[in-house]
Amino acid sequence: MAGTRVSCGLDYCNVYELSNSLQDASRAGYDFISVPLAHPRFTREHVEGKAKLRDGAFTRSDLLLSSSEWNSLIVGRVTTAAVLNLECGVSSLRLNSEETLAQELTFAAHLGLPALTIPLTTDRCVNLARIIHNKVVQGVCYQVWVRVPMQAPEESAGHYRSDKKVSEDGFEIDTWTWWNKFHSIANIQKKIGLMIEVSADLPDQSVVDRWLGEPIRCAVLPTSIWLTNKKGFPVLSRSHQLFVRSLNKLHAQFIISGPLRHQHYKFYQQYLEHITRMELDPLTDFARGYEDYLQCPLQPLMDNLESQTYEVFEKDPIKYEEYERAMFLAISDRVPEEERDTKEIVLMVVGAGRGPLVRRALAAAKRAQARLKVYAVEKNPNAVVTLQAQQDEDWGTKVTVVSCDMRDWDAPEKADILVSELLGSFGDNELSPECLDGAQKFLKEGGISIPYSYTSYLSPLQSPKLYNEIRNCREKDKHFLAHFETPYVVYLHNKKELAAPQPLFTFTHPNTDGVIDNKRYKALQFQITEDNVIHGLAGYFEAKLYKDVMLSIKPDTHSRGMFSWFPILFPLREPVPVRTGEIMEVQFWRSALDAHMTPDVRTFLNERQNSTYMTLDAHMTPDHEQDSLSGNLTDSYNTTWIDPDSQLCSTHF
Amino acid sequence: MAGTRVSCGLDYCNVYELSNSLQDASRAGYDFISVPLAHPRFTREHVEGKAKLRDGAFTRSDLLLSSSEWNSLIVGRVTTAAVLNLECGVSSLRLNSEETLAQELTFAAHLGLPALTIPLTTDRCVNLARIIHNKVVQGVCYQVWVRVPMQAPEESAGHYRSDKKVSEDGFEIDTWTWWNKFHSIANIQKKIGLMIEVSADLPDQSVVDRWLGEPIRCAVLPTSIWLTNKKGFPVLSRSHQLFVRSLNKLHAQFIISGPLRHQHYKFYQQYLEHITRMELDPLTDFARGYEDYLQCPLQPLMDNLESQTYEVFEKDPIKYEEYERAMFLAISDRVPEEERDTKEIVLMVVGAGRGPLVRRALAAAKRAQARLKVYAVEKNPNAVVTLQAQQDEDWGTKVTVVSCDMRDWDAPEKADILVSELLGSFGDNELSPECLDGAQKFLKEGGISIPYSYTSYLSPLQSPKLYNEIRNCREKDKHFLAHFETPYVVYLHNKKELAAPQPLFTFTHPNTDGVIDNKRYKALQFQITEDNVIHGLAGYFEAKLYKDVMLSIKPDTHSRGMFSWFPILFPLREPVPVRTGEIMEVQFWRSALDAHMTPDVRTFLNERQNSTYMTLDAHMTPDHEQDSLSGNLTDSYNTTWIDPDSQLCSTHF
């Protein structure tokens, strides 16, 4: 299936007749144009201390276009002069710059522009970030696209290739740090996005990936970085093509800037449209629209699932195939071939839902030519209606439908095989261990549990986008101040993983321990290999169904095409900056309550409080210094995320 | 322009093959079908005290349709048996009814149905209302359509025509009171709507209008009320047609129920589609999508308007025509014909915005063949850009642009004519009096103010829909607990006015009083002619521009086609029930602060605190009794809406 069409704008250095320029760009296939906010022939003079504006209008009239055109087709460019002296120590110059910027920001709001762009040319951007923050929190119609070059310009980057990140006069030449500082001080509002100016030579892949972890709203592709093919048309190098495709997956928009170097501007747009057409695999297709969209983890033990939820999960093209394969192997192993006519196998599906595993069990038995008796145990009375209807119409006596919580069921006989699908995105987080501990009393000695083992995995994540999504939840919903202490199920998209996932907790079934204890504790250490900021931890699982039949959502072993689970995200309350060479330590708890309660209370408490506690600790190597310019951010290195003793901080997952 | 297409469903008494029924209805042009939630062949048996459900499924399987079909095409009908004994004193019968209802409500949520219907057959509905309220506040996917007959069935309404509203056994036969009681107790949640079953004979228009003031989501048109035309096709009587069109304007959906009495069900749907096609006048067309949509009144003195806002208002087809006519007459009166070559008239537009009145003034002068000098005074620097550009390009020296607040301007000469457009939906609510009091110092003795007078109007309103919209604001936005003390600008739609609007406050300009005082107080009395509930007060204005040139948004004198102003709504914190024969008294204040402050503070305080206070008092006639069944509602007859001395309660408008 084709992805959505790329959105592409054309940058005008200056504009003489605005509506003509707009028409030209539209005819060349562009979706919008970028123009300066202040008309260049109206330069403004300010006098010391009090900014005095010249007589007459400082820019063109809003009557040149209709509101709907201003609202959707015009991106305003703040003039460089407006930000030039914002960080200047001479107060008259600084105030003049502030007045000029304020005038342009106000006029952009008057016009109702969808976006405006502001250039960032140095890491000295505290005043600019402060002003933009203040403007954005007041509520503005436009997005702010902060234009940052991917690499520092040559003149300031003389020593870049010698692996120093600071030029001789102390100028920071890793431009990501310019953006990161601006973004941190502007308090990473959702309205503020990155507009990256793509360089002719792309940096190392890990640096590219760090950019891709940022909320890129727009990418500038100057005409100077384009190549010319044999027929004279503009094309991009292979590495630029890959980068453009990655940007397109983030739904970034593009802007072509700079003087025309080929026959017509339309060819740049056509080429971009061409290379961003793509085929989607089943998972990506399924996940469209869910990118970075926060979902609360299901709590199927407490809340009954709805018909639609069952329907979606039953459509997974991989998961039930693998279950059937596992059941086929288990049935085959359980009955010697010569006994298949006589011996009946008892298989229990605990948490049968609307019956997908029942159907697969019957199919597996048929393939194995074995006699199978199935119990379908389900606690949701609405799903039981579906099971009963199928039993009436299809299954007959081969299947017994049991309307009951598996932990309370008094089984009439014991099972050879116990099949369940109780896993959450983090493996045990939907209380599979507790449920199966209860159900294993009706598994025969030596009987088989499918799955028989599962392990959760964790890795640290850079994602200002997700951090903002979570913060936004909190701001919208005053009842839930604990959004940062809640894990979310989310299709991770605009992010970078800063280290490979490491295994955390493993559970096996049946559990043969003398005293069953599902509490866990573990500390993980991650080696940090670049300067970056951590916004949360990504969680995955791997499960073993039977022998080598596996299900996995861990990226490197992901069951291809399986879409039943998105990863889980443990957000951090405050972003934690990290530096190359540091070790980051994460401590995780899985807590559990005792079972001396009535089933109802048990269910409720289990799901609400059977919690994971986490502390996070980034050990600094001794030779690292605090960065005084962004001290308010870096002094949070030692972040205790959650107090394990506090009830309030319990992470229910 | 055509309205949106009518949505029409078909009611199935029983269904044998659900997907076949759905296909049949779809082929006949219907958008959805209504079916019983519980399959009739699975009757349920309950035993005393504890409801025991029979073995096996109580209804059909969810696998019969896809989720998207359940979600959008099926309206579930709660079986009458489920609500039959809910109000019964025998607890085993009541509990059985409660269990049955609970089972059906839960299953409807499992299916994800868009709506379900519940019959209301009596005014004894407290337990039903309680259960539905509790369910809805927990959060449900479906809307609840409460099915109420427009008139009580014959058997219970034996004495209806003798003007008694209670049958001999004390049964309330005014069915509106059934619904009103249910709705009051269910706490009029937005998810709960009225499904009205249209009767063969329609009641008096005032009773019909009272129904139309309720949130009607759906109307049932039984086949028995349809007539047959000469060709044998089903048609509706003229009064039914009018009612159907009114329902369609409320975006109600329709359901055809009952046995087929013509060739095919499709003809009912086709007829409805035919009679609901309509032409819209400019105002209705402009207001589409804004029906009952709450907007905060503009505060143009404090907040600068945006380009788009100016653009919308400048498009009004009537307002500026009337202004030009007024200015033409004023200019003509001001200069005798013989002096028009020599005498120059000075006209000041105070609050010129982007210049629509300046353009109209120049046009009026041209028509009057008079020499005109215009000052365009505007405080919004962004709009001044537009004025300056027009001056540069078109107007030249005929117009002087003044970038200044009119209250602070030091005019170089005095004006013959002072023109402004500072009125809000309630006349003075955008502080026109205060602004013009400041500007009149540069009007010549005997000079003309356009407008020279304006009056606000009030009338009491029934509208549970708007009441809910306002309550919903409050629930979403914890910062603003004062939503019920804030007037809204809103295109009133799903409402009934309970009395004709009465004039409230009048202001005239120039104000020649010795001491100018814009404070006001007035009490209005409205005669109530029916049992109903008051949810708020509607506000309008009439303005006199010059001589008999008027602008009005009062319904009976509304300037036809003018869309610049929607009415204003003063909501009541609690709905106030009223009865036939009562007098409702409303007391209104307009408060003002003194002007001994700096202009900035003055502007802020004027707009934020220059307030109207209101108390509302419905005098009961002595022979009315409290209705003990809905005592929690009717004991609020004497509602003091706002304490005039309390700062918190100030209504800034």
* Cα–Cα distance for residue pair B588/A317, rounded to 1 Å: 68
Q: Name the percent of chain A lying above pLDDT 90.
A: 62
Choose, from A214, A324, A421, A434, the residue flagged as catalytic.
Answer: A421
- Residues B253-272 have a mean pLDDT of 95
pLDDT at residue A18, as a whole number: 93
Are the CB atoms for A122 and A167 separated by under 8 Å? no
pLDDT at residue B608, as a whole number: 37
Annotated catalytic, B421? yes
pLDDT in tens, B454-502: 999 999 999 999 999 888 776 555 544 456 667 899 999 999 999 999 9
DSSP state of A26: H
| 3-state secondary structure (DSSP) of residue A530 | coil
pLDDT at residue B25, as a whole number: 96
Taking every pair of C-alpha atoms in chain B, what is the biggest distance, in angstroms?
A: 102
* Cα–Cα distance for residue pair B114/B145, rounded to 1 Å: 10
User: Does position A610 have pLDDT exceeding 60, yes or no?
Assistant: no
Mean pLDDT of chain A: 84
Cβ contact, residue pair A392, B62, below 8 Å: no
| CB within 8 Å of A407: residues ≥ 6 apart | A434, A435, A438, A439, A599
Cβ contact, residue pair B56, A478, below 8 Å: no
Nearest C-alpha neighbor of B586 from the set B639, B529, B632: B639
pLDDT at residue A4, as a whole number: 66
Is A639 exposed, middle or buried (CB count within 10 Å of its CB: 0-12, 13-18, 19+)? middle
User: Is residue A111 within 8 angstroms of chain B, CB to CB?
Assistant: yes
Whole-Å CA distances, B567 to A578, B246, B508, B561: 57, 20, 21, 14
User: Is residue B333 within 8 angstroms of chain A, CB to CB?
Assistant: no
B67 → closest Cβ in A307, A382, A385: A307
Tokens matching residue B69: 């079909």
Cβ-Cβ contacts under 8 Å, A37 against chain B: none
The residues with which A373 forms a beta bridge, in sequence order, are A346
Mean pLDDT of chain B: 84
A70 → closest Cβ in B307, B390, B392: B307
A156: confidence class by pLDDT, cuts 50, 70, 90: low
Choose, from A214, A324, A430, A485, the residue flagged as catalytic.
Answer: A430
Helix axes A205-212, A175-185, angle to 10 degrees: 20
Cβ-Cβ contacts under 8 Å, A308 against chain B: 67, 70-71, 112
A307 → closest Cβ in B70, B304, B388: B70
Cβ-Cβ contacts under 8 Å, A106 against chain B: 381-382
User: Does position A164 have pLDDT exceeding 90, yes or no?
Assistant: no
pLDDT in tens, A85-126: 898 888 888 888 898 899 999 999 999 999 999 999 888 899
pLDDT at residue A408, as a whole number: 87
Cβ contact, residue pair A307, B392, below 8 Å: no
Query: How far B382 CA sits from the closest chain A CA (Å)?
Result: 6
Alpha-helical runs (H) found in B65-147: 67-73, 80-84, 91-111, 126-138
How far, rounded to the nearest angstrom, does the alpha carbon of residue B460 sit from its chain's CA centroid?
12
- Residues B278-285 have a mean pLDDT of 76
Cβ contact, residue pair A56, B109, below 8 Å: no
Any known ligand binding at B310?
Answer: yes
pLDDT at residue B42, as a whole number: 58
A51: confidence class by pLDDT, cuts 50, 70, 90: very low
Interface test with B, best of A39, A54, A63, A106 (most B CBs within 10 A): A63
* Cα–Cα distance for residue pair B284/B281, rounded to 1 Å: 5
Any known ligand binding at B320?
Answer: yes
3-state secondary structure string, B438-486? Answer: HHHHHEEEEEEEECCEEEEEEEEEECHHHHHHHHHHHHHCCCCCCHHHC
Query: How far A208 CA sits from the closest chain B CA (Å)?
Result: 40
- Residues B29-39 have a mean pLDDT of 93
Determine which helix (DSSP H) or strand (DSSP E) holds A101, and give its type and residue range. helix A91-111
* Cα–Cα distance for residue pair B196/B205, rounded to 1 Å: 16
Choose, from B172, B322, B430, B469, the residue flagged as catalytic.
Answer: B430
User: Is residue B308 within 8 angstroms of chain A, CB to CB?
Assistant: yes
| CB within 8 Å of A600: residues ≥ 6 apart | none
- Residues B390-405 have a mean pLDDT of 93
Interface test with A, best of B63, B64, B354, B358 (most A CBs within 10 A): B63
pLDDT in tens, B77-100: 998 878 888 988 888 888 888 988
Cβ contact, residue pair B57, A109, below 8 Å: no
Nearest C-alpha neighbor of B594 from the set B584, B582, B605: B605
pLDDT in tens, B99-135: 889 999 999 999 999 999 999 988 889 999 999 999 9
B359: confidence class by pLDDT, cuts 50, 70, 90: very high
A612: confidence class by pLDDT, cuts 50, 70, 90: very low
pLDDT at residue A330, as a whole number: 97
Nearest C-alpha neighbor of B466 from the set B553, B534, B563, B531: B534
Cβ contact, residue pair B112, A58, below 8 Å: no
Any known ligand binding at A517?
Answer: no
Higher pLDDT, B595 or B151: B151
Any known ligand binding at A378?
Answer: yes
Point out the least confidently predicted range of A243-252, A365-374, B185-194: B185-194
User: Is residue A561 within 8 angstroms of chain B, CB to CB?
Assistant: no
* Cα–Cα distance for residue pair A622/B99, rounded to 1 Å: 68
User: Is residue A65 within 8 angstroms of chain B, CB to CB?
Assistant: no
pLDDT in tens, B320-331: 999 999 999 999
Interface test with B, best of A307, A387, A392, A394 (most B CBs within 10 A): A307
Are the CB atoms for A439 and A420 separated by under 8 Å? yes
Are the CB atoms for A505 and A456 separated by under 8 Å? yes
Q: In A73-213, which ranges are E strands?
A: 74-77, 115-119, 143-149, 192-197
Query: How far A202 CA sits from the closest chain B CA (Å)?
Result: 42
pLDDT in tens, A438-479: 899 999 999 999 999 999 999 999 999 999 988 877 655 554
Task: Give the residue on B whose Cα is nearest the Cα of A53.
Answer: B381
pLDDT in tens, A272-294: 999 998 767 778 888 888 899 98
Cβ contact, residue pair B61, A110, below 8 Å: no
User: Is residue B62 within 8 angstroms of chain A, CB to CB?
Assistant: yes
Is A17 exposed, middle or buried (CB count within 10 Å of its CB: 0-12, 13-18, 19+)? exposed
Query: How far B502 CA sits from the closest chain A CA (Å)?
Result: 38
Are the CB atoms for A450 and A546 separated by under 8 Å? yes
Interface test with A, best of B100, B107, B303, B308 (most A CBs within 10 A): B308
Higher pLDDT, A169 or B581: B581
pLDDT in tens, B224-247: 999 999 999 999 999 999 999 999
Any known ligand binding at A310?
Answer: yes
User: Does position B313 have pLDDT exceeding 60, yes or no?
Assistant: yes
User: Does position B340 have pLDDT exceeding 70, yes or no?
Assistant: yes
* Cα–Cα distance for residue pair B273/B267, rounded to 1 Å: 10
pLDDT in tens, B613-646: 344 443 333 222 222 222 222 222 222 233 233 2
In the sheet that B583-590 helps form, which strands lie side by side, from edge to edge?
Answer: B520-527, B583-590, B611-619, B651-652
Annotated catalytic, A430? yes
B281: confidence class by pLDDT, cuts 50, 70, 90: confident
User: Does position A68 have pLDDT exceeding 90, yes or no?
Assistant: yes
pLDDT at residue A278, as a whole number: 73
Nearest C-alpha neighbor of A156 from the set A169, A144, A147: A169
Answer positive or negative: Cα dihedral of B404, B410, B416, B421: positive
Query: How far A436 CA sits from the closest chain B CA (Å)?
Result: 25
Cβ contact, residue pair B307, A56, below 8 Å: no
Choose, from B98, B421, B582, B607, the residue flagged as catalytic.
Answer: B421
State in Å, rounded, how far the first CA of chain B is from the last one: 35
Query: How far A632 CA sits from the closest chain B CA (Å)?
Result: 29
pLDDT at residue A43, as a whole number: 56
User: Is residue A109 within 8 angstroms of chain B, CB to CB?
Assistant: yes
